Amino acid sequence: MDIADNISKLKEKLPNVTPTPPDLHPQATAHELKSRLKLGEQALTIIDVRDHDSYRYGHIQGAMNVDQGDLEQFAKSSLEPNRDIYIYGASDEETAEAANSLRQAGYSRVAELQGGLKAWQEIYGAMEGIDSEKPPSEGDYNVKSRLEQFKDERDKENQMK
C-alpha cells in the first residue's frame, strides 16, 4: 500500500466540513445572501436598483447600482445568463419589477432580496456608503476564516448532541 492509498483511505474517514451554500430561490432572504457571501462565493452579483443618492448613502457591500431603465442593457453587456443575481430596490414591488425584467431577458437565476436593504441591515450585513455604520473587518468575507469558523461551530454542535 502506497502513501496515496493511505491518504485516500484517511480522507474517506474524515467528516465533510465544507459548507454548502443555500440554493438560489426566486424570493431570497437576507440570511441566504449573507450565507453565500460568508462562504466567499464569487459567482454571484448583487444589483441595487434604487436611485443613485440612496445607493451612495448606503448599500450592501459589493452591490452595483444600476438604473432600472438600463438594467437589461447592463445585464446583457456584463453578465452571463446563468449567473446568480440578487436584486433589491426601494420596495419589494420595485425589486420584483426589476427581477422580472431580467427574467424576461433570459436570466433564469435571479433572486429578489425580500425586505431589501432594511432586511439586510436588520441582520447586520456588511454595508458600504456614506451612512454605513462600521467598515467591514478584514476577515468579513475571507473564505479560510469562514470555513474554520464553520468547522468550529459544527464541532460545538456535535459536542452538545
Query: Could you give the CA distance from residue 150 to residue 47 in angstroms, rounded to a whole number?
Result: 27
Question: In a structure prediction context, what are the per-residue pLDDT tens digits for the chain, which is 161 residues long?
Answer: 688 888 788 777 777 666 666 678 999 999 999 988 988 877 899 999 999 999 999 999 999 999 999 999 999 999 999 999 999 999 999 999 999 999 999 999 999 999 999 999 999 898 998 876 555 566 666 667 777 877 887 887 788 76
- Domain 24-133: give its CATH code: 3.40.250.10
Counting runs of H as helices and runs of E as strands, what totals does the chain give? 7, 7
Question: What SS3 state is found at 108?
Answer: coil
> What residues does 127 pair with on adjacent strands?
60
Query: Could you give the CA distance from residue 127 to residue 118 in angstroms, rounded to a whole number?
Result: 11
Q: State the pTM of this model.
A: 0.71
